[in-house]
Amino acid sequence: MPGGVAKLALDAPAQASLGGNRVLVMREGNGWVALVGIPLSTKPGSKLRVEVQYPDKRRRLEIAVLRKKYPRQELSMAPEQAELPPEQLARYEEERKHIQEVLRTFSETGPASFAMQQPTPGRRSGSFGLRRVINGVARSPHSGMDIAAAEGTPVSAASTGRVIDTGEYLFLGRTVILDHGQGLLSLYSHLSEVSAAPGESVPAGAAIGKVGATGRATGPHLHFSVYLNAAAVDPAYFLTRL
């Protein structure tokens, strides 16, 4: 389903991709599997095609995408609040392109573990996949999990990884993005403080910043996203500690 993860059995180790993005491939038991992130924008009932390149053959595997009902939230606000002022549009577009590029990072070494720890203590508010409709116009669905926490609460790496981006963005505010390997990434945003630098390797649980309300946030909280093949997937699948 959209925002979910599909597991495909492979005949042998192979390179797999979906829509031009490399897909995570790993050993499982005596065989090999691909773990495919299903984009939230995928239409239920449609089929996704995963290209698999074996050393000696090429195959195409299909994923039938099921329906998942995500909550929907209708909001109305003054038009000047709902729209970006023209002078910010160019910056927003540039940042969007940059972040998309970062989210396509693929490193060959696979993740040490799929289990992630909750990056900051606190109640999980908001919800992954929530469809926001502002003044009757559908916005992109909520791509992460919001965790309520006081300003300044430490934020730690959900899993061992490498810092691939830090920045201060219009919507996301101060942000850290980690690469865990084979296209598995995690993103932490609205931070008040970032304490990690690009290129740095961080063990699971290492401090990378502090909770804040930078960017477009109504109050202090951590927005936490997990990506596979550049598709945001529900972080709840990976969190071991509730």
Please give the residue whose beta carbon sits closest to Zn ion in the complex. 223
Query: Alpha-carbon distance 203 to 191, whole Å?
Result: 19
Greatest alpha-carbon span in the chain: 59
Cβ nearer to Zn ion, comparing 146 with 179: 146
Min separation Cβ 120 and Zn ion, Å: 13
Q: Which of residues 99-158 bind Zn ion (CB under 5 A)?
A: 144, 146
Min separation Cβ 189 and Zn ion, Å: 8
Per rule CB under 5 A, count of chain residues that contact Zn ion: 3
| Residue 234 interacts with Zn ion (CB under 5 A): yes or no | no
Site string for Zn ion, 188-227 (x = CB under 5 A): -----------------------------------x----
E strand map for the chain: 5-10, 15-18, 21-28, 31-37, 47-53, 58-64, 72-75, 123-125, 131-134, 137-138, 145-148, 154-156, 161-169, 173-181, 184-191, 193-194, 201-202, 207-210, 221-228, 231-233
The DSSP line for 120-151 is S-SEEES-TT-EEEETTEEPPPP-SEEEE--T
Min separation Cβ 173 and Zn ion, Å: 11
Q: Which of 164, 150, 145 is nearest to 208 (CA)?
A: 164
Cβ nearer to Zn ion, comparing 67 with 123: 123
Cβ nearer to Zn ion, comparing 2 with 144: 144
Min separation Cβ 111 and Zn ion, Å: 23
Cβ nearer to Zn ion, comparing 119 with 144: 144
Burial, 158: exposed, middle or buried (Cβ in 10 Å; 0-12, 13-18, 19+)?
A: buried
Cβ nearer to Zn ion, comparing 54 with 171: 171
Site string for Zn ion, 167-186 (x = CB under 5 A): --------------------
The DSSP line for 149-187 is --TT-EEE-SSSEEEEEEEEETTTEEEEEEEEETTEEEE
Min separation Cβ 128 and Zn ion, Å: 9
Cβ nearer to Zn ion, comparing 12 with 133: 133
Min separation Cβ 143 and Zn ion, Å: 8
Footprint of Zn ion (CB under 5 A): 144, 146, 223
